[in-house]
Structure 1
């Protein structure tokens, strides 16, 4: 998959007008996920970067809500894996949150008035992302949905990654805690890695 666009801490502070202190206070209060703080080596030494689209959207939401809510109340609303949003199948399609192809495949037996949990919608959304890149087939989308259904709740709101690996035409999906390292036998290709907290944030943005 294409590498996500990053923004440096310096650029972020200049662009948003927030202070260093605010940024790290929000981190301590878990308004900004720990794994969005990405340390990378540069010619000047170690610098901190962030996933640009996600961090800008998150800071905009914090700034718009902080006058009405305490930081602790904000943390509850912004924790991306604790959303309780539920949507009907037909609404997901009408609002173009999940493609009709995915809904017809993964929700084939569900009537249009079926109400999906946020976790179910997230599985559909993840399948959509990978199908759009052309890296995954519909049969593999079934495997993704089954993996999410069986194991995602075990993380209890903690950040995890969905790994899509393939060897000699055989596909496997894994859910791993973050941070984590995984090692595979020779010839195994990591087709994609999805950070579920970031994906949940993208989905929540579409739901709003």
Structure 2
């Protein structure tokens, strides 16, 4: 990693206003990944550096949310792998996590499940967001659900993006590693590119906060 992409611990504390104690407490809680603490030799000896963009974004996110969530809840929400959350159909409906239209589309496509894993809820949530935004219709939602169900686990917890593309009224979607450049034939248009990691954080916040309960 280029030195310009790094920030020293001293600079980080000065810029963000956090203390040494806070930084290492967050590390112990796994709010900041161990691999982000990079030891390098300098003219003053060994110093700790961080990937600049990632650590600044993470610290700002922690600071903005720590008043509303416990450190344990934050750690669960910010972890790179999905939480071990399982909800029943009734719980999903009661907590209003997704619309009934998207939930019924999932059940129609794959059948009703006794319990919905975090990943299953994630797939429904992604489709729900796109339907509500007017990006896709129900048939296209089914294509996205099938693509996610078939391929998402192949990334083994690594960040990926969902791309939804149309050409002359024909739609398709696929998953690519986050940040990958993708090129299409003439006439193809990217309707939506979603960071699955970003959606995971959004969904975790909704789950941690309990959703919006229906009576």
Runs of 4+ in 1 over 4 A off after TM superposition: 13-17, 23-28, 48-51, 56-59, 74-77
Give yes or no for the alignment of 1:55 onto 2:66: no
- Output the aligned Cα RMSD: 3.9
Q: Distance in 1 between matches of 2:161 and 2:69?
A: 28
SS in 2 for 1:162: strand
Pairwise CA distance, 1:104: 1.3
Q: 1:108-147 counterparts in 2 under 5 A?
A: 108=108, 110-111=111-112, 114-147=114-147
* Contact residue 167 and residue 188 of structure 2 kept, 8 A: yes
For the structure 1 residues 121 and 76, does the alpha-carbon distance in structure 2 shift closer, same or farther, using more than 3 Å as the test?
closer
Aligned-pair CA distance for 1:37: 3.3
**C-alpha displacement of 1:64:** 3.3
Q: How many correspondences in the alignment?
A: 177
Q: SS of 1:136's equivalent?
A: coil
Residues 122 and 141 of structure 1: is their aligned pair in 2 closer, same or farther, counting only changes over 3 Å?
same
TM-score, normalised to structure 1, is 0.69
For residues 85-104 of structure 1, the aligned pairs below 5 Å read 85-104=85-104
Distance in 2 of aligned mates of 1:184 and 1:200 = 27
Structure 1 unmatched runs, 5+: 1-12, 39-47
Distance 2:100 2:51 in 1: 32
Cα displacement string for residues 122-157 of structure 1 (whole angstroms, at most 9, x for unaligned residues): 000000110111110000000010000100000111
Pair 1:15–1:90, CA change in 2 (3 A): farther
Decide whether aligned partners of structure 1 residues 94 and 182 sit closer, same or farther in structure 2, where only a CA change above 3 A counts. Answer: same
Distance in 2 (alpha carbons) for counterparts of 1:49 and 1:166: 36
